[in-house]
Amino acid sequence: MVQIKRSFWFVLVISASLLIGCGQQASEQPTTPIANAGEDQVVFLNLQCQLDGSRSAGNLAVYSWKPVSYPSSTPPALVSSNAKKAYFTPTALGTFEFELDLSNSLGASSAEVMIQVIPFEVPSIEAGFYGVCAHLQDHDDVNSLLQPMTEAGIQFVRYDFDWKDIEPLDDQFVFSKYDQVVAQLKTKGLKTLGILDYGNKWSDPTTGKTDEINRFADFAYNTVKHFKNDIKLWQIWNEPNSELFWISPEAANYTKLLKSAYAAVKQADPTAAVILGGLVGNGKDEIYISNIRFAKLNYLSDIYNNGGKDYFDVADIHPYTFSIDITSTASLETAIADTKAIMVNSGDGGKPLWITELGPLFFPPVPLPYLSERGYTDEEVAAWLNLIYTNLKGKCEKLFWYEMRDYPGATTIYNPNWEGLLKADYSIKAGFTVYKNLFK
């Protein structure tokens, strides 16, 4: 009986402690507010501008943004004016001044930021035709690729800047892995084309919701700002017209993302160039492979119809499915012509067109369902590489081979391991030698 009473009182005490503990967690205490409205900035006319108060302090503080002075006759409209990050689109040249007010039970604090609005300037893009794709963010040994890249004469390297790695939690940015990769490439004079793309578990901008898109734009802004001294080429997403990378590939939603991300990139670095997200095919035809839609019908036209014309500096396609003959580039040249026709008809014919992925996906070493009825030798693929770089030069401004190194894995359309200039063990293939000889 005594033992039972002791157990009862023990449970009672523990329960009371838990209740008290829960109460303490729920009653979060305020801290003194200290407003920080961010750095003064120079931005372009008619592009959304983010006001950033995330460096402010003050737990449980109320945020309030307001315009103090502005060059127009009416104050600019603010979106999310009661949040850490607010947005406005400047419609007049000149200087805008905004105030951020913070307040809680311990007091109030305010800070101001100046935003200078200038006319839009078309970015200068470094010349060079020869690029390669390499998933360096996931590569165990980047140094093993540097020497082959420089030896082959590669000028530009395209790889992902994964949102999931850089911003694992909202407003917590981690750049260390990418700092190392960028620095390694810089030592060899290799230029980066960074893909701002997917993988984040706590936000999905493909829904078209404004707050989700602004979260992605914030990731783009912080990433471009961090690397502005080293990287001048940024791509917004990868293959958004494919169900592999956008669950419901609607051009309207991608164009919303493109507009916000474009403005964010330009705010972070006005000299950076923004590349369209690499459309599978020619941006026109609908493409199905194995019951999966790889390209949505009339996607590029739909981007233009949704007002996307002024929100990319370079158009871009991945015309894999037009690689139907390993001895000819005729179908590829037709795909390029189709894309350029859409651009011209949309009043955008003066814009550059790149191919940021093209490789022997449909020329596997052995017959595979949905890909090829026969296998192709390394020598055949190497001859085709020479053909595309010779015949497509002058028809597109940059051409990126996909990819630098074979990846170990199953030989399927979703996980190919035969597309590299190097084998998985870093030994060279016939294509590497041909690529290197393009410069002789």
Out of 140-149, 294-303, 402-411, give the one with best mean pLDDT. Answer: 294-303
User: In this structure, is residue 159 part of a structural domain?
Assistant: yes
Same structural domain for residues 183 and 72? no
Supply the angle between the helices 210-226 and 251-268 in degrees, to the nearest 10.
40
My answer on whether 78 and 222 are in the same domain is no
User: Rounded CA gap, 391 and 210, in Å?
Assistant: 43
Specify whether 88 is located in the same domain as 183: no
129: CB partners within 8 A, 6+ apart: 155, 389, 393, 397, 398, 399
**Could you tell me what percent of the chain has a pLDDT over 90?**
85
Answer yes or no: is 9 within a domain: no
Q: Do 68 and 177 belong to one domain?
A: no
Kindly give the pairing relationship between strand 398-402 and strand 353-358. Answer: parallel
pLDDT tens-digit readout, 244-260 = 999 889 999 999 999 99
pLDDT per position as a tens digit, 272-287: 999 999 999 999 999 9
Q: Is residue 104 located within the same domain as residue 144?
A: no
Q: Are residues 100 and 143 in the same domain?
A: no
What mean pLDDT, rounded, does the chain reach? 92
Q: Which of 390, 433, 350, 402 is nearest to 157 (CA)?
A: 402
Q: For residues 311 and 255, what is the distance between their CA atoms, to the nearest angstrom?
A: 8
Q: Is residue 25 part of a domain?
A: no
Question: Has residue 5 got a pLDDT over 80?
Answer: no
The reply to whether 155 falls in a domain is yes
Question: Vertex 170, ends 310 and 79: CA angle to 5°?
Answer: 50
- Per residue in 308-317, pLDDT (tens digit) is 999 999 999 9
Q: For residues 169 and 233, state if they share a domain.
A: yes
| 50 and 135, same domain (yes or no) | no
81 is in which domain, residue-wise?
41-118
Looking at the fold, whether 102 and 155 belong to one and the same domain comes out as no
Report yes or no on 416 lying in a domain. Answer: yes
Same-domain status, 252 and 386: yes
| 63 touches 84 (CB < 8 A) | yes
* Count of domains observed in the chain: 2
Task: Using alpha carbons, select from 285, 296, 292, 277 the residue that is nearest to residue 324.
Answer: 285
**What's residue 141's pLDDT?**
81
In a domain, 226, yes or no: yes
Do 86 and 154 lie in one domain? The reply is no
- Tell me 109's DSSP state: E
- 57: CATH: 2.60.40.10
Tell me the whole-structure pTM to 2 decimals: 0.91
Same domain as 175, residue 153: yes
